Structure 1
Amino acid sequence: MRRLVLIAALALSACATTPPANPQDAFWTNLRAHCGKAYSGKLTSEEAVDADFKGRLMLMHVRSCTDNEIRIPFHIGPKDGDSKWDRSRTWVITRTASGLRLKHDHRHEDGSEDLLTQYGGDTATPGSATAQSFPVEAESIGLFRREGRGVSVTNVWEVEISDKRAASPRFAYILRRTGENARLFRVEFDLGRAVTPPPPPWGF
């Protein structure tokens, strides 16, 4: 009996000293669980500069997943009186030696890269299993300045994803900007109901 008590005590001690799971690994697993699925969403922020997006159907498609890269095309539905989708954007999340990286792959309809493409940032903190923040990195700051987009040099992108226990699971993509060019752009997608995956994004 004493031996069983000792074994149980040792087991409890081992559990107490086991370090918590890496929140970025948990976030990655949480996101990758949706691979192959698509979800509908909409703009939820209210800034006047985004009036062109208001009311338009939006789709995210967790289109491809590897051990080190997840690609999520972001499709924007037609404007009123039009039938053409904007399939120019793909969010690319990758693992790095120190955390996670978010990049934006922007393409024209013929598949060629936009002048403003492959910009983004790396995580500066561990974040959590449901939210990661990506402050703009130096290379992207240089790109923004070269292309006359100096307002974007304080960009911070955020990605939020509910875990499987959430009553109303959501995925959100957010752009925040501080200072005199303060900005908030947020789109949300309903993870509770998958939809038919859209065609490939432009260039793929």
Structure 2
Amino acid sequence: MKRPFFVVIVTVLLFIFACNQSVKVEVVTESSMRDSTQLVFWKNLGDLYGKAFRGTVVAGGDGDTTFAGELVMHVRLVEEGVIKVPFIVGRDSSRTWIFTLESDGLMLNHDHRHPDGTESESNMYGGKTTNFGTAECQVFPVDQATVNILPTRTTNVWWVELVPGSHFTYNLRRVNTDRFFSVRFDLTQEIETPGVPWGW
């Protein structure tokens, strides 16, 4: 049976119409991905400048007195490309988390000081992002510099979760071991800022 002539005409017209329609294709570039993930995370962290919050160990604290006492994070310094967050444990002001914004990702380093301000023997260890992560979570696998000074931490992975108006969580997992540590800070309750950390 021959197809009706009008069916052929309609088919041709639909084909021409479809070909003439511009198809909107959203191009996702590395730059746009970073803008919506790492740079949002960075901005949200910087927005906490000058504020301090109380924290609680939520994993890995059983039988460990290292983190006994009041836990406080204080976003004390925000400069171009660098954010420093002292982590105070009771009267121990030896720890500072250092976040660095680089052209190809984010760095997380741990600055440990003695009461007189001098560096601890194992200092500035940490990791670097290997992907864009999300606007609320960045993951820092151990870097080579850390492996060189701390051979036992070759499987360390740190990640930080920052949900504005809710919480900031610092986490450490040592892959293929039972080592897991997590401390969560309540961003809904700002507290009085602590004193000057060691080494500042």
Deviation at 1:99, TM superposition (A): 0.4
Runs of 4+ aligned structure 1 residues displaced above 4 Å come to: 16-20
The match for 2:41 among 17, 20, 27 is 27
Paired position in structure 1 for 2:84: 71
Distance 2:63 2:42 in 1: 32
Q: Please tell me the residue identity of whatever aligns with 1:159.
A: V
Residue 94 of structure 2 is aligned to residue 93 of structure 1: no
Distance 1:171 1:98 in 2: 23
Residue 191 of structure 2 is aligned to residue 191 of structure 1: no
The CA deviation string for residues 158-198 of structure 1, in whole angstroms up to 9 with x for no partner, is 1110034xxxx00010011111x331000010001111110
Deviation at 1:124, TM superposition (A): 0.6
Q: What TM-score, normalized to structure 2?
A: 0.81
Q: Is the 8 A contact 1:47 1:184 kept in 2?
A: no
Q: Is the 8 A contact 2:59 2:180 kept in 1?
A: yes
Q: Please tell me the residue identity of whatever aligns with 1:155.
A: N
Paired position in structure 1 for 2:123: 117
Distance 1:23 1:96 in 2: 14
Deviation at 1:51, TM superposition (A): 4.2
Paired position in structure 2 for 1:177: 174
Structure whose alpha-carbon radius of gyration is higher: 2
The CA deviation string for residues 107-145 of structure 1, in whole angstroms up to 9 with x for no partner, is 000111000111101101100111001001011101013
Q: What TM-score, normalized to structure 1?
A: 0.80
- The answer for unaligned runs of 5 or more in structure 2 is 1-21
Residue 159 of structure 2 is aligned to residue 158 of structure 1: yes
Percent sequence identity is 39
